[in-house]
Amino acid sequence: MPTAAPPIRPVTLDEILAARDRIRNTITRTPLVRLRHDADRPEIWLKLENLQPINAFKLRGAANAVALLSAEERSRGVWTISAGNAGQGVAFAARLAGIPCTVVAIETAADTKLERMRNLGAHIVKAPFDACWQAMEERQFPGVEGTFVHPFDDHNFIAGNATLGLEVLEDLPNVSAIIAAIGGGGLLTGIGSAMRALAPQVKVLGAEPETAAPGALSFEKGSPQVFEKWQYSFVDGAGGKSIFPRMWERMKGVVDGSIVVTLDQVKGAMRIVAEKSRVIAEGAGALSVAAALTGRAGDGPIVAVISGGNIDLKKFAELIGVGGN
């Protein structure tokens, strides 16, 4: 039987501040560095979440969500659904808590991400994309037991993600816009919750690939939409087939819109970030930079969240056009 989801409510500043204190010794307070690209504008700063212990922002939310589980919930172990980064976050937090973890992994997940989840102690169950998407809505998957930690539609997960926004404001108080990839929407909702509480003038924008842009469509229509022309791509950490209605309710009051970019623009952003900053960004991690470079978020200062760097190095080199004979 599908498990009923808890009611939706806003993430408060007090909850975000409490999350920061709770996860302080688990996460890395990641740096904000200027991207010295070839043009004077826009002014872009990179929030390097690829430097987290799991090389992705998901540890923020996972650490907070697992820490807030009751003793009874922990006793049953935890499970989540992931293309790789959320799974690593929950597995990392579960290992620290000394509890078992299962990850229902989308079958197209990169081998490098699957290996990293296993190395963190996770039991992997592979499933097709559509089955995983359905399981995220129903919060149950055949044969998998334990306490479900939703990879984005979870209040405590979002509060953990929101700590990123606190750091941005501390390091760049005059930021005009923050851009982050839209997968499920948990990162943007967290950032937007922090901005609305502390700096409501800051634009909070998503970034999506043209092959999977339900967020932009939802903002255009004013309601959660299904992206009928969805295609799988190397941007595997973002761009779902739809925006969950519950996540639309969370996002619509704190997020201003979404910028759609081409796959070539994403590849270009991956290369620019590597060349100029010596930073490895996976496809989803480079979406924000590609969006910022379009100029559609203004002249800046813009913070582009490098949400993750979990990509096979050979694949990375192929995508940015570097390789040997």
Could you list the pLDDT tens digit for every one of the 325 residues in the chain? 567 788 999 999 999 999 999 999 999 999 999 999 887 789 999 999 999 999 999 999 999 999 999 999 999 999 999 888 899 999 999 999 999 999 999 888 888 888 999 999 999 999 998 898 889 888 999 999 999 999 999 999 999 999 999 999 999 999 999 999 999 999 999 999 999 999 999 999 999 999 999 999 999 999 999 999 999 899 987 888 899 999 999 999 999 999 999 999 999 999 999 999 999 999 999 999 999 999 999 998 999 999 999 898 999 999 998 654 3
* CATH assignment of 59-148, among 3.40.50.1100, 3.40.50.720, 3.30.565.10, 3.30.530.20: 3.40.50.1100
CA dist 238 and 184 (Å) reads: 8
**What SS3 state is found at 222?**
coil
Q: Give me the pLDDT at residue 2, please.
A: 62
From 144, 79, 85, 93, select the one nearest 116 (Cα to Cα).
85
As a dihedral over the C-alpha atoms of residue 111, residue 216, residue 202, residue 48, rounded to 10 degrees, the angle is 10
Separation CA 306–CA 309 (nearest Å): 8
Can you give the pLDDT at residue 236? 83
CATH hierarchy code of domain 13-56+155-319: 3.40.50.1100
Q: Are 193 and 252 in contact (CB under 8 A)?
A: no
pLDDT at residue number 1 = 52
Asked if domains 13-56+155-319 and 59-148 share a fold, the reply is yes
Q: What is the pLDDT of residue 324?
A: 43
The per-residue pLDDT for 154 is: 94
Compute the distance between CA of residue 299 and CA of residue 41 in angstroms, rounded to an integer.
6
Ordered by start, the domain boundaries in the chain are 13-56+155-319, 59-148
